[in-house]
Amino acid sequence: MKSSVRVPVGASAAALLLAAGAVGCSGGTDESPEMTPAAAVAKAAKNTEEIDSIRYRMTGRAPEEGRVKAEAQMRIKPTLAMSMKMTALDQGADGTAEIRLVDKAMYIGGGARAAKEMDGKSWIKFDMAAVGAEEELNQLGSASQADKNPATESTFLTGAEDVEKVGTETVDGVKTTHYKGTVTVADLEKSLGDEDKATREKRKKSLEQYEKMGVDTLTMDMWIDGDDRTKQFRMRGEADKGPLDMTITFLGLNEPVEVTAPPAKDTVDLAEMMKEARQG
């Protein structure tokens, strides 16, 4: 096998980032008219605790990667699993990738183009914890970017002091109420002490990705349906390496999600390769 391994890096890196950004969805009409904007946002955030699985679409712009689009499904409970097909539109032929997270291992597939670089194998497996290579895993982008509860980001709007109702809009055929507000990462970090342990850990993990990107302030838009659940949300901010502007639209909630690992014959196990290199 060739010693050089190439996959669509731009798409893969963006997918690792994007896999963390989703919340639940449902259908319906407007929320109760007496509900204040802050109360509506808080109730939608509370309802994310009921989410076991989600199916969603993402479009927008990610730092460094440029324009991206993706569709994904994720099972949160009882065990974590995820599959995502995404394209970094500004990356050309190298911009398409598929990611699967199953059995605590992450697989990145680059299709036929990757197979040309890896003696016919189109998938790379990241399972470095199994061989004690956590540091290398973190340097490569860390599967931890994909194992966060995807409901967490939507709850950030509850920390905004300027939440306001924009109006009523239809999103994918669902009537929703649109809210917006601005939050700072610093204020969100300060508020962690007011949360229970489980919520605090989830929020802390999600905030870390924005810190690493250099995002200080997030402008958020949130579209809530008649079942008091988030149908869509948008997050914008300025990162060290470019703008972040991502819109996530929810297509399914609490549906069965099955994710399988790619065939072993089509997979290069990066952890095993590194283990053999160390022994050599």
pLDDT in tens, the chain (280 residues): 444 444 444 444 444 444 444 333 334 444 445 689 999 999 998 888 788 898 999 999 988 778 989 999 988 888 888 899 988 888 776 678 899 988 888 898 877 776 677 777 889 888 756 555 444 444 443 333 344 454 667 778 888 889 999 999 999 999 999 999 998 888 888 877 666 676 667 677 778 888 888 899 999 999 999 999 999 999 999 998 889 999 999 999 899 999 999 999 988 888 777 777 777 6
Peptide bond into 243 cis (omega under 30): no
Residue 230, exposed/middle/buried by CB under 10 A (0-12, 13-18, 19+)? buried
- Domain chopping of the chain, boundaries: 9-279
pTM > 0.85: yes or no: no
Gyration radius from the chain CA atoms? 19
Give 143's DSSP letter. Answer: G
Task: Quote helix, strand, coil % in the chain, to nearest 5.
Answer: 35, 35, 30
Supply φ then ψ for residue 114, to 5 degrees: -65, -35
Which parts of the chain fold into alpha helices (H)?
Answer: 9-18, 37-47, 111-117, 134-140, 185-190, 197-213, 270-279
The answer to whether the CB of 238 falls within 8 A of the CB of 40 is: no
Contacts of 34 (CB under 8 A, 6+ apart): none
CA–CA separation, 45 and 79 (whole Å) = 22
The CATH code of the domain at 9-279 is: 2.50.20.20
